[in-house]
Amino acid sequence: MVLDFFRSQPQSSLDEVELKLVEMLHFGRRVFDAANAAVFGGGKSKAAKREVRGTDQEINALQAEVRRLLVLHAAANPAFDLALVLSYMSVVKDAERVGDYAKNLYDLAKYGADFSTFDDVDDLAGYRDAVGQLIDDVAAVFGNRDGEAAQRLIDKADGFLSEYDALVKKAYRSDGVASEAVARALYFRFLKRITAHCMNLLTALVAPVDRLDRYDEAPEDRDV
């Protein structure tokens, strides 16, 4: 059964869950922006570290709150929709992982990576902007419970996953500066994971419970 976002009750604890999931994505975007600012020339700093870690802690707290609300909802509503609750339990992990992988980007700055000095800085910035926009779009689509828009966004983002794999392989095979190749490979790997978890979250709008959480798998493994 496809997740029923069009519930008969206009207000419920599940509405609050949805709002918190969207808030987690907004916080994930904040972590993403702060980490990228450090990687694209800002460098590591106490202020950047505080923003990245502090915001990530806010995401973790929201994840715990979502789970608590789901348990309370199930306990207070004997006829609760099990599929709905299980779906939320699944996608809250994906919302949290967006922040986690965004936080990992800051590690590149800690290691000394500075993309502002790379010859392909404009290309790197383009991928950065595309993923940042994806996070915003996913938050908007999920918040609007728009299943058709969710499917369009999933189909569009799916092509990005293969592209990031190709870019990681290209970095691995590079004969340039080793530290730059490693930084690129990790960067594209983290962008891929953020993209996949954004897509997983959207599956709650278009897929049955048993087919959630598939897009962090290789295409050939998604139906296993």
What domains lie within the chain, and their CATH numbers? 13-221 (1.20.58.220)
DSSP string of 52-102? HHHHHHHHHHHHHHHHHHHHHHHHH-TT--HHHHHHHHHHHHHHHHHHHHH
Look at residue 12 in the predicted model and tell me its pLDDT.
72
Span 70-111, pLDDT tens digits: 988 888 877 677 777 888 898 999 999 999 999 999 999 999
What sign does the CA torsion over 161, 23, 142, 93 have? Answer: positive
Q: Judge whether residue 8 has pLDDT over 60.
A: no
For residue 85 the two structure tokens come to: 């609750």
CA distance 86 to 70: 9
pLDDT of residue 220: 59
